[in-house]
Chain A
Amino acid sequence: MNIESNSEVNNEQIPSVVQDQHTLEEVSLNIKQDQRQLPAFEGLFKAHYAALCTFAFDFVNRHELAEEIVQDTFLRIWERYDELDIRISAKAYLYRAVQNNCLNYIKQDRIRARYGHELLQQLESRITLMNMPAAPSPAERLEHSELEQMAEKAIGKLPPQCQDIFRLSRFEQLSYPEISRQLGISINTVKTQMTRALQRLRDELLPLLK
């Protein structure tokens, strides 16, 4: 099986037509045939892993946890392949599954045991806030591959310093103090520029998100 990267343009407006290369149907067929290699599943995993981890990171703010949640989600899909509703694209399904799994995953005792009480509360509250429904949902929106280009264009329009600060925070996940050290500016400047970046991006992108 030839695994392509996830860059194919996906023109679906309503998620009813399956255009994804590795459909879940294909995956479950594979599993039913009990092949040892499971190329479809591997393809699905590799094609979406990084994007899904990034998505999960927005909810949990910890790389390690984000990766665990994505792996665990794939595991669940693997277990329940025969009950899957395959009328939507695999990509749409995966985003939704990861989003739903974030809160469930950290409800487990063995995961809770890792964090102190304060941290756990903050984590749960973050997931809840990031999960608050919007129409259309963030997961649905991320299926639009044009959005990425539009977002990139909007970021490119930010003033130079403001843009650098936003990129360091959003794409390198540096903290405010780290950005201030890196760019030799005060933390206060980082704070105000981040707020400004977000306001400007909202003005640019919000109309497109409706």
Chain B
Amino acid sequence: MQPNYSNGRMDDLIAQFLSGNISTEDQRALEQWINASPDNRAYFIALRDVWMATATPGHYNADAAWHELQQINAPVSIKRWKQVLRMAASFTLPFVLGGGVVFAWLSLKKGDNGQGLVTVTSPKGATTKIELSDGTEVWLNAGSSLQYASSFNSRSREVKLEGEAFFKVHTDPRKPFTVNAADLKILALGTSFNVKAYPEDKGVVTTLVDGAVRIDGSQTASPFKIMLKPHQHVVYKQPATVAGNNQKGTTALTAASITPVETREVSNTEIYTAWKDGNWIVTSQSLEELAITMERRFNVNVVFKDEALKTFRFSGTFRQETLEQVLNILKLTAPLDYKIEEGTVTIREDKALKEKYANALRNSK
């Protein structure tokens, strides 16, 4: 016995420990006392064993636990079972609102410890809101996907984006939040920002609403690093030619001399983030650019019958309009006509309308 503890205090602490009513400090003190002498240790073990001997099966529902595992699929093979159990036991799946699809892939290799990837995909025609396990909110635009490892938030917070997303990052100074988009790394600490990186865009557009982010372009053809201030907007274009690391040097990298990054102040960041609330703000965009957004937003293909139409420019805001409504609004200001059949929108020049607009223009002069 140690002189500085009365036996009564230790008895209390042991009872508190066994019944789970002990503070961290008291548990430390108890542990020290137990390790102080073989007698103390034997004294504790006797009480512990008595405590464990009084166990009776508690309120656990074996049927429910089994059923839960069965629900996904009857265990057809060992692999399936492993997946089902691992899923049940280990995944903090994101909380998803909207049309998103979550696909969790799990490595089944032995010794891989169930390392897996979670992919959330927002299909074309839908915006998806996700809440990650660290409290970060992500709005995923149509036709985009977000991917992260099952170890997300254990040591670091890293996600990979393909497409467009708006992030409202939960502050955690010890674990910066990193978005990998194309060949850029975007580092954030408690910020709201928008990243647009659809593969067909051949680049990344980052718009910062508030807070601070750092863009790390050290993996690109012409390395750079930029700190962004709120209301700044960075457009990075991937070089069209990528130099292979062949020693012959046949591919000359022409893009390297021109820095591929352009920073701009934007007074109204909402233009870039409105999509997350279902709005679509158009600021002097060509019909060709609008068509790409339409394809994503409404899950259609857009075909131009007349090339000339592509260069018409528009401004305005769409909210919850349907595809027809959008096209009809465009029709009000441009000489176009359209047909929608089986997911394809065909846009052609409307000769009669064009004539009318031309007359109107002449008369107004």
Contacts and interface: CB of A to CB of B under 8 A. Distances in A.
Contacts of B114: 110
Interface string B55-82: 1111111110110010000111110011
Interface in A99-151: 108-110, 112-113, 118-119, 121-122, 125-126, 129-130, 132, 134, 138, 141-142, 147-148, 150-151
Contacts of B155: 109, 113
Contacts of B61: 50
Nearest to A37: B74
A209 B151 contact: no
A54 B224 CA distance: 57
Contact of A53 (B14, B48, B58): B58
B24 A206 contact: no
B105 interface: no
Tier of interface size on chain A: 35 or more
| Interface of chain A, main secondary structure | helix
Interface of B: 8, 11-12, 14-21, 24, 27-28, 31, 34, 41, 44-63, 65-66, 69, 74-78, 81-82, 85-86, 88-90, 113-114, 150-151, 153-155
B14 A198 contact: yes
B42 to A, nearest CB: 9
Contacts of B75: 36, 38
Contacts of B27: 122, 125-126
A71 B31 contact: no
A3 B314 CA distance: 71
B4 to A, nearest CB: 19
Contacts of B28: 125
Given A118-B24, A122-B27, A195-B12, A57 B58 contact: yes
A183 interface: no
B154 A75 contact: no
A67 B63 CA distance: 13
Contacts of B154: 109-110, 112-113
Interface of A: 31, 34, 36-38, 42, 45-46, 49-51, 53-55, 57-58, 61, 63, 67-68, 71-72, 74-75, 78-79, 108-110, 112-113, 118-119, 121-122, 125-126, 129-130, 132, 134, 138, 141-142, 147-148, 150-152, 154-155, 169-171, 173, 175-176, 191-192, 194-195, 197-199, 201-202, 205-206, 209
A169 B53 contact: no
13 contacts: A36-B75, A37-B74, A46-B66, A50-B57, A54-B60, A71-B89, A109-B151, A122-B27, A138-B53, A175-B21, A198-B11, A201-B54, A206-B50
Contacts of B17: 126, 129
Nearest to A68: B89
A112 B113 CA distance: 14
A209 to B, nearest CB: 6
Given A78-B78, A110-B150, A169-B21, 14 more contacts: A45-B65, A50-B57, A67-B65, A79-B82, A108-B113, A122-B24, A130-B52, A134-B45, A142-B55, A147-B53, A151-B56, A195-B8, A195-B12, A199-B11
